[in-house]
Chains A and B, each alone.
Chain A
């Protein structure tokens, strides 16, 4: 069975600082990995996805994530935080032939201080 662990339910950074949101997964086969963002009173929006084409994946709004098989990690980063990045971020994993089902992590709420 697959699972996703997001370390830190809350992360606070200053505007302009590096954003690092951690995600570790467990899967019996090479997985597909996703990061979603949820702004208040909205649904989840896709930030980026890893589907084995390249280990470093670039997404929208300046975010990127690196797949590290040896560490079973898929951490999300952004070099410089903006106030508008304040939101909840979810890491999700899907296994091949799993019917597009996603297993979500518990989410990390990112707060950006001025």
Chain B
């Protein structure tokens, strides 16, 4: 079975450019999570969705960050304009919530973002 798929795997861009990260969750999963991982701050939850609706975006650092989930099989995380301090690995994860109790999250392989 296909796991969580993220693209691109690596992105290098200049400061001020728009960056779009993409995620395809596991089919049938109704929760989707976006995380950021850095050496300094570890793993941080940015936002999560349930049934395509954003539930908690309190982890989004600032207005430059936005996330959408237009349908059950696709989500994007956008940074505009990007800054060097946004450099990190961004992970997407999905889990099954409907009718289940605290199912584990399944992670993609991440997007390594470098802002020059």
Task: Give every chain B residue within 8 A of A96 (Cβ-Cβ).
Answer: 101-102
Interface range for A: 20 to 34
B102 contact from A41, A45, A94, A104, Cβ within 8 A = A94
Tell me whether B43 and A51 are in contact (CB under 8 A): no
Contact residues of B with A, CB < 8 Å? Answer: 4, 31, 33, 42-43, 45, 48, 50, 55-56, 91, 93, 95, 97, 101-110, 112
| Known A43-B109, A99-B48, A100-B31; further 20 A-B contacts with Cβ < 8 A | A32-B101, A34-B104, A41-B109, A41-B110, A42-B109, A43-B91, A43-B108, A44-B93, A44-B105, A44-B107, A51-B102, A96-B102, A99-B56, A99-B97, A100-B102, A100-B103, A101-B33, A101-B45, A104-B42, A106-B42
Q: Are A46 and B4 in contact (CB under 8 A)?
A: no
Q: Quick check: B42 and A100 within 8 Å, CB to CB?
A: no
- Main secondary structure, interface of B, reads strand
Q: Pick the contact of A102: B42, B101, B105 (CB < 8 A).
A: B105
Residues of B within 8 A of A99 (CB): 31, 48, 50, 55-56, 97
Q: Could you name 15 residue pairs across A and B whose Cβ atoms are closer than 8 Å? A: A32-B102, A34-B104, A43-B107, A43-B108, A43-B110, A46-B104, A51-B101, A99-B31, A99-B48, A99-B55, A99-B97, A100-B102, A101-B56, A102-B45, A104-B43
